[in-house]
Amino acid sequence: MHNHTLAKRHAFTLVELLVVIAIISLLIALLLPAVQQAREAARRSQCQNNLKQIGLALHNYHDLHRRLPMGSLYSDTTTPWTTSRVTAFARILPMMEQSALFADIDWTAGIHSAPNKDIRETNMPMYRCPSDPGSKADTGSTRAPTSYVLCYGSNLDEAGGGGNPNIPVVPGHCTGGYWCRIPYNDNTQDAIFSANSYTRFRDITDGLSNTMAVSECIVGGLVIGNQHGTDLNASELNSCITATASPEENTFRGESWFTGQIHTFLFNTIKTPNPVTPDCRRYNSVGNMAARSMHIGGVQVLMSDGSVHFVTENINLTLWQNLGDRADGSVIADF
């Protein structure tokens, strides 16, 4: 007779299994935010580097041409979207190591013309913040979008903007037409970028380190009530700014780094960054176009001296507007 020792089987009880699952879930819950924060920190660092490269390109452009590029060139016509009004981002392409792309631009053709189709649809990673997942589909356009926008100061429409009163327009352009900014009103020109007008560093009397050049926008539309707001075509600008207008249309914010349609490539300082009130505009005007980002708590800002700062969305409105003004004489506090 043989004695057989039965092997004792070990297994998790249901309670033990549930405890293990709970521990794993807890570890995931603890680690996931840290991983997400690390990824966002990397994206924010890349965004900052993109802005630094834009700042360096603007300085190199100024060294070569003795002026900053125009925000956009508007033609003396009632159908300006057929004209060659590209943005400053296109004009600094050679300084962004994109000379070949710059050489392919047909400056005699319109921004929507067939010769410039490949240009306006070329994605430019250096003009996109990796934190912003927006795409062409979000703007309802085939154009390659941008996350970065030029500072237009506290102005509401294309009659405002920056520029040098001694160089009000480009010869041969804007002699009184629909899109023109004539006569030049220096009382409304407070930023460093404008349509049809240049700015030189010597015009920035508040100091390059105290004057904003570029910030961020969010590509495409967002649902109203989101912390970043939403865009709409408002029938009345006042109701738009007070967020009482109905958001019936998608945004054009960040629609293109190439085409200089004035409501797509700029921001103004009517509101502080990331306001809950929507971006809005009248047709063919700017309206309220806030600096916005997908970064938590604020936006990245390129100053005119080439430095990049993270500006909180809780910044004092007056200080924010002072930073957007190139020559108001205000003493800038820490920001």
Residues 118-155: tens digit of each pLDDT:
998 999 999 999 998 876 655 557 888 899 999 988 87
- Nearest-angstrom CA–CA distance, 39 and 56: 26
In the prediction, which pLDDT does 46 show? 95
Q: When comparing pLDDT for 250 and 281, which is higher?
A: 281
Confidence of residue 299 (pLDDT cuts 50, 70, 90): very high
Q: What is the DSSP string of 177-224?
A: -TT---S--TTT--SS--BT----GGG-TT-GGGSEEEEE--SS---T
pLDDT in tens, 37-94: 778 888 999 999 999 999 999 999 999 999 999 887 765 444 444 455 788 999 999 9
What single letter denotes the amino acid at residue 315? I
- pTM over 0.95, yes/no: no
Q: Please check whether residue 160 is in contact with residue 187, taking contact to mean a CB–CB distance below 8 angstroms.
A: no
Element holding 58 (H helix, E strand): helix 14-65
pLDDT in tens, 95-126: 999 999 999 988 877 777 888 889 989 999 99
In the prediction, which pLDDT does 53 show? 97
Residue 304 has φ and ψ, to the nearest 5°, of: -70, -15
Q: When comparing pLDDT for 260 and 63, which is higher?
A: 63
Give which of 254, 255, 261, 326 is closest to 293, Cα–Cα.
254
- Nearest-angstrom CA–CA distance, 149 and 251: 14
pLDDT in tens, 194-247: 777 789 999 999 999 999 999 999 887 543 434 334 434 444 445 555 554 443
| 4: CB partners within 8 A, 6+ apart | none
In the prediction, which pLDDT does 84 show? 57
The SS3 call for residue 150 is: strand
- The tokens of 78 are what? 């009632």
| DSSP 8-state secondary structure symbol assigned to residue 266 | E
| Residue 311 in this model has a pLDDT that exceeds 80 | yes
In the prediction, which pLDDT does 231 show? 39
- Percent of the chain with pLDDT strictly greater than 70: 68
In the prediction, which pLDDT does 98 show? 95
In the prediction, which pLDDT does 324 show? 94
- Residue indicated by tokens 């966002």: 40
pLDDT in tens, 158-207: 444 443 333 333 444 444 433 333 333 444 568 898 777 789 999 999 99
- Examine residue 183 and say whether the peptide bond preceding it is cis (omega within 30 degrees of 0): yes
In the prediction, which pLDDT does 322 show? 94
In the prediction, which pLDDT does 282 show? 53
- Residue indicated by tokens 């020792």: 5
In the prediction, which pLDDT does 171 show? 40
Q: When comparing pLDDT for 257 and 236, which is higher?
A: 257
